[in-house]
A and B are shown apart, each in its own frame.
Chain A
Amino acid sequence: MLNVQHLAARRGFTHLFADLTFAVDSGEALLVTGANGSGKTTLLRILAGLTAPATGTVRWRGAEVGAFSASMRQDVAFVGHLPALNDTLTAQENLLQLLALSGDAVRLEDVRVALSAVALDRQATLPVRALSQGQRRRVGLARLALARRALWLLDEPATALDAAGATILSELTARHLAGRGCVVATTHQPLAFGSAQVTTLALGS
């Protein structure tokens, strides 16, 4: 589904990586590892279409996609360092807004179920400013559970999550992969994705 050919990226005058070629089929996960500053986040942003690569091509469903391409925006769920949660809105309101923004019509009932699945029942109606970093991450997981997206791009998804949170994350991604979805995740710690086929890509080596 996702096909990357001879990708290179630059940040200012620094070359982050060059000649990167890989493919992720449906039901497969790609783990991107590498030292700080090796370009993991940049790679993810290029795949999402937020940044244009220096050279190389990204193909999605067989068609070449550039930055902000319409076909990619239909299919990608990007969970970056920034949680995209507004401090003054509640977790519930934030989720409803974000899912409406991604064009996925969800009912309040679904949002409640998803928030209780990530063990945030009691925090669902609190303003997000009252939530901890880990809890904000969990709201992000609830968003992933609700958004019908084929390609998940996760930037350090396990950061700030406790053991229970990490279990929810791996259960969620395993389910997504079992449903023939794709996952590309950057990581510093091992992530368990069930029985799905997982490839590892080490940057900067």
Chain B
Amino acid sequence: MKHLPAIVPLLATQSTTRDVAASAGIAWAVRRDLALALRSRAELAVHLSFYVIVVSLFPLAAAPDRNLLAATGPAVLWVAALLASLLSLPRLLAADYLDGTLEQMALSPYPLAALVSGKIVAHWLTTGMPVVLLAPVLALQYDLDSEASAVLIASLLVGTPILSLLGAIGAALTLGVRGAGSLLALLILPLYVPVLVFGAGAVDATRVGVGAAAHLSLLGAGLLIAIVGAPFAAAAAIRIALD
């Protein structure tokens, strides 16, 4: 057997001061989850293909009427974005809960809410952002004009982070629960309703000439509230799950 080298001087009686700024905690979680996402690209591709397929099925099933398609397009894209987000949520915390990483996160000197925020950012970057980027291409199938298309992208850009933030609360609340996936859907879909209403509503408002500013402002307000509240709520739910 090899002898253990003195790797670090052990000064156990002195409390070491560590840099535990919340921003460093956020950065840690973003880096880690992006690295993990890169390892499981196939899984991400499945969620994204799901989104693309759901959006593409509707024009095939609906009557080939330009006005009908343009009217339903934003709603379909929004519902598909919502389902794609829901599909990826069980992954957000469950694996870390099962292998004990969540325990170590709760015991780390970084604030748990900061670590959770980082996970949410990584979740949006890997699932929300691709949905936004694909939207203009998918919108072509619905014959949306360029103005409606731009508003749709803007509403998705502001709205999809809310989906990740609210979803994190749901994922934390269903930790360790049997059949967490379906319970998560039951819990979180009602909370998604306002996002859906204002998100899809923004595009409709442009189409009828009212302007999307009011809808987008409300969506933005919702995003700010979710940014401030959701990480703390999710962190509290994680602590309860670990107890």
Q: How far is the CA of A86 from the CA of B99 in the complex (A)?
A: 7
A98: contacting residue among B3, B104, B106, CB under 8 A: B104
Nearest B residue (CB) for A70? B109
A73 and B108 contact, CB distance less than 8 A: yes
Measured CB to CB, the closest approach of chain A to B85, in angstroms, equals 22
A84 and B101 contact, CB distance less than 8 A: yes
Q: Is A116 an interface residue (CB 8 A)?
A: yes
Q: Is B32 an interface residue (CB 8 A)?
A: yes
Residue count of chain B within 8 Å CB distance of chain A: 42
B20 and A103 contact, CB distance less than 8 A: yes
Q: Is A186 an interface residue (CB 8 A)?
A: no
B12 and A181 contact, CB distance less than 8 A: yes
8 pairs of residues in contact across A and B, judged by CB atoms under 8 Å = A51-B242, A74-B109, A84-B99, A102-B104, A103-B109, A104-B18, A117-B7, A146-B8
Measured CB to CB, the closest approach of chain A to B8, in angstroms, equals 6
Docked complex: A49-75 residues within 8 A CB-CB of B: 49-52, 61, 67-68, 70-71, 73-75
Kindly list chain B residues whose C-beta atoms are within 8 Å of the C-beta of A35.
Answer: none
Give me the interface of A with B, judged by CB distance under 8 Å.
1, 26, 48-52, 61, 67-68, 70-71, 73-76, 78, 80-89, 93, 97-98, 100-104, 106, 110, 113-114, 116-117, 119, 145-146, 148-150, 164, 167-168, 171-172, 175-176, 179-182
Most buried by A among B32, B40, B112: B32
Q: How far is the CA of A80 from the CA of B106 in the complex (A)?
A: 13
Docked complex: B51-105 residues within 8 A CB-CB of A: 95-96, 98-101, 103-105
B106 and A50 contact, CB distance less than 8 A: yes
Given A74-B16, A89-B36, are A101 and B110 also a contact pair (CB < 8 Å)?
yes
Given A89-B36, A117-B5, A179-B11, are A73 and B99 also a contact pair (CB < 8 Å)?
no
- A-B complex: 9 closest residue pairs judged by Cβ atoms: A82-B100, A179-B10, A181-B12, A103-B18, A84-B100, A150-B12, A88-B39, A180-B13, A84-B104
